Structure 1
């Protein structure tokens, strides 16, 4: 069964952007350090991708839009790269490239791994800086402090960090990545194991959130953002396309209310494009959906109904 289970390649370009290119207090330093500098970098983040969606939400919540520009590829790609097919002329208006692959190759001409989003590109050189998505959003909060808006939420509360790391690890392994383990399982046995693991953790969240508004208590943290980007795609994609079909998110009263609460919070719902999300999964994953037919539903207006969690 081991050979039939989905395994995500977690080897990313490990460079980090820090204040004065200093050694960061948290996390590994396995690559180069780049200095925080307004207007030097461009975040490339496709709306369809949950990992990229996370970076867009954090950038917006922290008020970093004026210091880190945003480029957004379209929802589909081929084996080569994400493309800027929704921009005029099919090119990113700042970097001038048709494919994100070009930024990777300018930095690493023989780059052989996947061309992933989110990615941060240096505007002047057009070269990739990093695509290490867990640390991109971590460093937005910890390193860009001089540019964060005064009323931004504390996404990494010091007093909760130890517990938060545990919660986020389970969310990543069992839910963010868990839906992919279901969708790309190569055998019935691998699929059923992944399915059971996923629903065990979704039930855990249903119970945890019954007694608190957000994952860590009364305020939004990065843990909520990491969970939200999977939940918001659940009924539209993962329930059917990835066979995560014990029940819909909209049939889990606590998680569904929690997800709508976040969706209706400024910085969250406006980053969601359900048509791009559905187009990406149902068109790109031809091994799962060879017809490439994109479903019409569900109705996104359901996300605007009262959640009752205030």
Structure 2
């Protein structure tokens, strides 16, 4: 792990991201939007118009934040319009690399870079920023549009509808207040909560994070006992934002991040819900457990110094989900 300082890569241990024992995630630094007509979005600069073949997505199969964007690329029929490069699962001293000696890692087939930080400096040679996935790249201008997954999925949800004819809406206006409310809690205590538990460097910080995590998982289980999805009968972005954490939970977070009070498998409603989402057409092909397990256990040497990648449970995700 590391960051760019004035265009120069500086390695940094993940442990340095904690403050007072608590893990602190940095905000994304590129926040422009693709829109149907190229007008400005809620933040950033204007000029990024939805066009076929213009944009490229840099992702890691291991990263839950990048995984969101791959799911929406599938759900919104964007695979033929937005190209993808997949980094190697090992994130070491130079950050994400484009080594292609691991099945599923593609290399950088757009710019030919060896590491992701070089993509950032291609856009801005003097960049000072964390180097994270996903990265949404504009081939026309040679710029990074966004590296904020929550905003990229909303672009994918609507900006390209006129191009694809796919008008499904995972952020429907009538449900937005409830979606935002759910997202806020799940982001803080679940999506980021597993990291706050796993990267805690004090008992107090760990206890606080893991208690909040399982408090929210119990809350979610209660919602799913009454509703098919988090907001009711409608599948929304809130479900997909939760999915990318749940799909990694029993394989990685339960053991590696010490989130071991319970497995997803132990929550009957959540387990059926996870299987239902996994079985949505196109979603399973975005899940690569080899990359997921390799990345976490091998890259986080401050947690797993011997870099032993353990066996993980077999999850029968294609069995009947019983969710209607």
2:181 to 166, 186, 199: 166
Equivalent pair of 1:182/1:243 in contact (CA under 8 Å): yes
Structure 1 equivalent of residue 155 of structure 2: 139
Give 1:172 deviation, angstroms. Answer: 0.7
Structure 2 equivalent of residue 3 of structure 1: 20
2:194 to 154, 179, 184: 179
- Alpha-carbon RMSD: 2.0
2:43 matches 1:29: yes
Structure 2 equivalent of residue 14 of structure 1: 31
SS in 1 for 2:129: coil
Q: Distance in 1 between matches of 2:101 and 2:86?
A: 8
Structure 1 equivalent of residue 131 of structure 2: 115
- Per mean C-alpha deviation after superposition, the further-off stretch among 220-229 and 92-101 is 92-101
Structure 1's consecutive aligned runs of 4 or more residues displaced over 4 angstroms after TM superposition are: 87-90
Alignment coverage as a number of residue pairs: 305
Q: Distance in 1 between matches of 2:34 and 2:94?
A: 26
Q: Deviations over 1:226-269 (max 9, x none)?
A: 00000000000000100001011111111111101111111222
In the superposition, relative to structure 1, how do residues 5 and 33 fare at CA in structure 2: closer, same or farther (>3 Å)? farther
SS in 1 for 2:66: helix
SS in 2 for 1:303: coil
TM-score by length of 1: 0.92
Q: Distance in 1 between matches of 2:46 and 2:122?
A: 16
Equivalent pair of 1:14/1:32 in contact (CA under 8 Å): no
Q: Distance in 1 between matches of 2:95 and 2:23?
A: 21
Equivalent pair of 2:36/2:162 in contact (CA under 8 Å): no
2:145 matches 1:129: yes
Q: Which has the higher helix share?
A: 1
Structure 1 equivalent of residue 4 of structure 2: none
Equivalent runs, 1:1-310 vs 2, <5 Å: 3-24=20-41, 28-86=42-100, 91-124=107-140, 126-150=142-166, 153-300=168-315, 302-310=316-324
TM-score by length of 2: 0.89
Q: Distance in 1 between matches of 2:269 and 2:52?
A: 40
Q: Which runs of 5+ in 2 are unaligned?
A: 1-17
Equivalent pair of 2:86/2:106 in contact (CA under 8 Å): no
Q: Which runs of 5+ in 1 are unaligned?
A: none
Q: Which has the higher strand share?
A: 2
Give 1:33 deviation, angstroms. Answer: 4.5
Q: Distance in 2 between matches of 1:107 and 1:250?
A: 43
In the superposition, relative to structure 1, how do residues 90 and 167 fare at CA in structure 2: closer, same or farther (>3 Å)? closer
